[in-house]
Amino acid sequence: MSAMILGGFLFFSVSMGGAIAWVFSKLFQHTTQGLSLLCGGFLLGLLVLDIIPSSFQIYQSFGILLGIFIGYFIFQLLDSLFHASHAQNPSVSLLTLAMIIHTIPISLTVGNLLGNAALSISLTASIILHHVPEGFALSTALISQGERLWRVFFYFFIFSIFFSIFIWVGQYWTLTEKAQGILMGISIGLIATASISEFILHHVRTVSFRTFFMFLFLGYMLSYIFHRLIE
């Protein structure tokens, strides 16, 4: 199975997540703050329930913690640059960067395993299931920032291209486990800082406490449901 075909499966996977996010955007179309909080809660759930535990099981703690600190400082640097240049929707750009970095260790591993025919079916199923939540999170973030539907799919296309490229790289080059742990830590730092700073704290004073807690909790519970479904 080629890297481009697997990239196509990833595009299908994140699009499934995007379709679910679109349904929720229609349910809460009158509250962009609610959608942002939903996205923030979902991202926190994604980190707490899936990304952080699995990362510490696979990689060394030092590399992950170092990566988290690097991710935090990268966020601070890019956030100041985006706001200084008055860029549109910097939070979405930062989240997209975090998602791309998050896929690098996964796609390199997939590239190393690509020659194993016995793993092709399970690998494809894993890619489809694993990236539905990422598609949901990224779509919710984009829609909450007022992005049009065609731009959502453009982001998905870029996401899939990067995934395919790193699968191809993984066929010829193996990244050390320590480096993979640092990359995973960077993605955790970026996702955590973006979700808390851009999607949660921005709306602390714009909605009532009840609304704030309800959307945050709903986002977390959706992440929990996704986690249970793909276990």
Beta-carbon contacts of residue 128 (< 8 Å; ≥ 6 apart): 9, 10, 12, 13, 16
In the block, residue with structure tokens 């894993």: 126
Tokens describing residue 43: 């991202």
Residue 224: predicted pLDDT: 92
Domain boundaries, the chain: 3-22+34-230
Q: What are phi and psi of 187, to 5 degrees?
A: -65, -40
Convert 167-202 to b/e letters by CB count within 10 Å (16 or more is b): bbbbbeeebeeebbbbbbbbbbbbbbbbbebbbbee
pLDDT at 116: 60
**The model's pTM:** 0.81
Q: Which residues of the chain have pLDDT under 50?
A: none
Q: What is the pLDDT of residues 139-170, one digit of tens each?
A: 888 887 777 777 888 888 888 898 889 888 88
